[in-house]
Every structure is written in C-alpha cells, then in structure tokens.
Structure 1
Amino acid sequence: MTKPAIQETSDSIIDLKEMTDARVSLGRFGAGLPTRAAQAFLLDHARAREAVWSMVDRKDLAERLSRLGFESVSVESRAQDRSIYVRRPDLGRQLSDASQERLKTLAGTAGTPDIAIIVADGLSSSAVDMNAVRLIEELGARFGAKGLKIGPIVLAEQARVALGDPAAEALGARLSIVLVGERPGLSAADSLGAYITYAPKSGTPDSKRNCVSNIRDGGLSIGEAADTIADLVTDIFKVAISGVALKDALVQLEG
C-alpha cells in the first residue's frame, strides 16, 4: 500500500521561514533564483565581508563604557594590520610587547581583579559594535551582585580568542571572559561569542575554555547570554576548573 503524497502548503513554507534565518523555500525563476533572492544573497555576502574587514572603533567603545562607569585600556596583537591578521592567526593570539607592558603597569595600580573582560574584534567588527557594550553592562550588574571585581575592560585590536590569556595573566585576573566577533555567515554577520577561561595564562589550550555563542538579536539575547555566562562563572569558581572538565567536576562536587 503506497503512502499518500504529502502536499507542501503555503502555510508550511511560511512557518518554516519564520523558524530559521537559513535560506529555505526561495523559489525558482527558470533555471535560477528569483531576482529578490539573488540580490538578498549578494547583500548578505557584502555584509559578511564588511564585518571581517572593517575595524572596530575602540575610541567609541571606550566612551560608551566610560558612560557606564567602566574603565578600559586599549591593546594590540602582533598582527600589524587586518591583512596580516586574517592570514596569520598565530599573530592575533599574541600581545604586542608594548601592550604587555601597558597591562602590567595598569595591574600595579588597579589592583587584582576576579574577572578580566577582553573585547576582541575577531572576525566581525559588527558583532562587537552592536553587542559588546550591552553585554558588559549586563554582566557588570550580575557580577557586582555576586561581589566579584571586574578589571579594566581590555579593548584588543586584531585579536583572536587566545590573546585573552596573556592579557588576563598580565592583569592578574582569576578568570577571563573574551568577547569576540564570530566568523560571519550569510544569515548572520553580527554574532558575538564569549569564551570563559579559569586561571588564564599563555599557552592555555582551547579545551580549558567554555563558550557561549550566537549572542545577537535573532540569536541568544543579551539578557539570556548574561545569565548563562554568570551561571558558568559561578560554577567555575566553585570547582576552580573550566572547559571540558567542568561538568565532571561539578558532578563530583554535588555527589
């Protein structure tokens, strides 16, 4: 007995489009896509390229943070320009000598923080410009309620996730949170990621980090991300472990 064919209704297509930003049910025009769909693809591709190649306005970020009561400091990686940064990921993971000294000097006057927040441009300046300050504001409120001290916000240029290790180490922080622009896709060019590392130091492997990703309007909201990060930080401080070993450590603690 053959099963009846499932008819795809216009309502089901509309529902599917509302559930995802992915390119679904675009239609056809002859052998190709409708003009509207083709132009939308080109626009999103241009936005993704702009997110990668544009520079974060660190002066603007510093001013916005200052209005919220946060001190900040600017640092640079060893990648001297955007072209080198894109082609040499290793240089984006290392602090410049001048930046290293700047942070060490600051650490001597600012005291030892519990948490260092590093804002790295990563591969999407759009994500940083749109989401980083709002997320830091929310995190500041949650960490303040827990009695945790945040150090000066580190604004890092041409920086990848691992640059947060030497930066937090120079400040003497117990834990680092790196907010970084994630690699843009054709459905989202403004996604921010948060990487949390306990006892950060140069050479820390990625397996010792916890990640909260897709922080953006249309993804994980700022409030939800702040709650998730704050809960993770609380758990990490309980067991003094972050990364893939965190779950087992919490199970042992509760057992």
Structure 2
Amino acid sequence: MNDNSARDGARSGHIHDPWEGLKRFTDARIAIGRAGSSLPTQEVLSFALSHARARDAVHTPFDPEPLEQGLQALGLATIRATSRVPDRATYLARPDLGRRLSRGSAEAIAALGAEPCDIALVIADGLSTTAIAANALGFVSHLLPMLKTIKLSVGPVAIVENGRVALGDEIGEILKARMVIMAIGERPGLSSVDSLGAYLTFAPKVGRSDAERNCISNIRAGGLKPPLAAEKAFWLTREGLRRGLTGVNLKEETGTMLPED
C-alpha cells in the first residue's frame, strides 16, 4: 500500500488490509479491513447476506422434479424415496432417522424387481438443496459416459428427500449393487452454499462405517468442478470394483491437476 492510499483510507475511516490483493484467489473471508475498532459496514452486510444464503440452502424445500426430468433425459430410470424423517426440523435434530429409508420407500424400491447392477446412484438433498439444484445433474451427466466405457450397469437412480450419507448403503443393498455412489448436498458454509459431496461405498449394506467410504467434496463451479469430480469418481469406481474395496485402503491416484485458470 502506498502512502497516498493509506492516507485516503484513514480519511474515510476504513483501514485497509495488506492482504487485499490476495482476495481474488479465494472466496474465504480475508482482508476484510476495519473501520476504527469495528468491521466495515459493507463487510457486516456481506456476512449477514452469506449467512442468510446458507440458511436458505438448508431450509429451502427440495424440488425433485427438475432433477428427475434431467436424469430421465440421460436415459436413467428414477424412483423417489424418503428417509424416516417426518420433517426438516427433525432431519436436523435426528441424523439417525435420515440414515434409513421409510418403510414405504424401502418396499417401493424392492418392488421394482430390478436386476442386480454394478452401480447404484443415489441423490439426496442432504444439508443443501441449493447444491443439488446447481451441481447434481452436471456431475452425473459427466460420470455416466465414463461408466459406460467399461460397461458398468447402473440401476434405477434413487432421489431421496431428507437423506443422510449412510442411507445410500440401504438402497444399494436392496438393489443388489456392487457399489453405491451417493451424491448429497454438503453442509453450507458462508462462502460455499452450493457444495456437493459424492460418497462411494463398495458392497453397500446397512451398517457400513464411514471408514469404508471414499468422499469427493466441494463439487461446485467455485471448487472442484463437476467434470473433474466425475473423473475422480470414475477412477475410484473402477479401482474400487477391481480391488474389491473402498475407504481408507483406497487412495485416489488419478494425478489429475486442477486447471491453471
């Protein structure tokens, strides 16, 4: 910062942060400056807006219709399902109920009589319906052609309201899938309300632990872009099936680098 800009900042009451130039590299809240002993008004308002967007991501009702139409356009069969959670407030207070299918949904999936498949795809709203609307279809549309290159069969896609990660294990078990890929809205942050997570579990069944899954996180335009996330998911799928495992003993080794831009 030169002497002139420092004097201008002092006259305005806003003391600039020397990290100001680094803000263009991250969405994190850095170099917010200060006005006297307080935050600048603009930063206070920005924080309040980000907090409101994060709350909206959690509480906005899940609309499965556009996602279902998009998946069917890709040639995928779909089925809607719900967890044992009766409402959103209970979902937030009782994670255990979000990990199991409602009785009606379990019976409906079983009634499909689907043939055993290599991959069960599950998409759940999780903690961010915003993430599902923004990124779920893009992730699947990039992953699906990769799965077809090695002739992996994909079962009916379950679209789940008020689901948690472990719920995918029950669906994969019912569909007799060799692996389940669960795409779910991640807990929103103040700088990332639309982050999607993908969890892969070999030989899914009720009772699998988190140590038996692989996770790809922060799938969004401002993070790990869906095409690159799909590439990583494909590698984990192929190697997981080949080695007969997922989780802590399977490390993603694609060597794919983030694009320079």
TM-score by length of 2: 0.88
Deviations 1:88-119 (A, max 9, x none): 0000001011111111111x1x3221000100
2:26 alignment counterpart: 20
Q: Is the 8 A contact 2:212 2:247 kept in 1?
A: yes
- One-letter amino acid of the structure 1 residue matched with residue 84 of structure 2: R
> More helix per residue: 1 or 2?
1
The residue number in structure 1 matching 2:137 is 133
For residue 248 of structure 2, what is the aligned residue in structure 1? 244
Distance in 2 (alpha carbons) for counterparts of 1:72 and 1:87:
29
Q: How do residues 68-87 of structure 1 correspond to structure 2 at under 5 angstroms?
A: 68-87=74-93
Partner of 1:29: 35
Q: Which amino acid aligns with 2:78?
A: S
SS in 1 for 2:166: helix
Q: Identify the residue that residue 259 of structure 2 maps to in structure 1.
A: none
1:132-177, Cα deviation, whole Å (9 max, x unpaired): 0111111111101111111111101110000001111111111001
In the alignment, which residue of structure 1 is the partner of 2:55? 49
2:190 match: secondary structure: coil
C-alpha distance in structure 1 between counterparts of 2:154 and 2:129, whole Å: 23
RMSD of aligned C-alpha atoms?
A: 1.7
TM-aligned CA deviation for residue 29 of structure 1: 1.4
1:139 partner amino acid: L
User: How far did residue 13 of structure 1 move?
Assistant: 2.9
Matched residue, 1:98: 104
Q: 2:17, 2:31 within 8 Å by CA — same for their partners in 1?
A: no
How many Å separate the matches in 2 of 1:203 and 1:32?
A: 50
Which residue, 115, 119, 123 being the options, matches 2:127?
123
User: Secondary structure at the residue paired with 2:152?
Assistant: coil
CA distance in 1, matches of 2:181, 2:232: 13
Q: CA deviation at 1:126?
A: 0.4
- 1:179 maps onto 2:183 in alignment: yes
Q: Which consecutive unaligned segments of at least 5 residues does structure 2 have?
A: 1-5, 7-15, 252-261
How far the C-alpha of 1:60 sits from its partner, in A, is 1.9
Give the Cα separation in 2 of the matches to 1:206 and 1:89: 14
Letter aligned with residue 74 of structure 1 = R
Deviations 1:182-212 (A, max 9, x none): 0011111000000000000001111100000
What SS does structure 2 have at the residue aligned with 1:168? helix
Shift of the alpha carbon at 1:35? 1.6
Give secondary structure in 1 for the equivalent of 2:117.
coil
What amino acid does structure 1 have at the position aligned with 2:230? A
- Runs ≥4 in structure 1, deviation > 6 angstroms? 9-12
Residue in 1 that maps onto 2:12: none
Indicate the residue corresponding to 2:64 in structure 1. 58
User: Which residue of the other structure, out of 31, 44, 56, is the alignment partner of 1:38?
Assistant: 44
C-alpha distance in 2, partners of 1:163/1:201?
9
Shift of 1:12: 6.5
Shift of 1:69: 1.8
What letter is aligned with 2:72? S
Could you tell me how far apart the structure 2 residues matched to 1:31 and 1:11 are? 14
- Is residue 182 of structure 2 the alignment partner of residue 211 of structure 1? no
**CA distance in structure 1 between the partners assigned to 2:184 and 2:174 by the alignment:** 19
- Residue 85 of structure 2 aligns with an amino acid whose one-letter code is A
Q: CA deviation at 1:48?
A: 0.4
1:154-193 matches, cutoff 5 A = 154-193=158-197
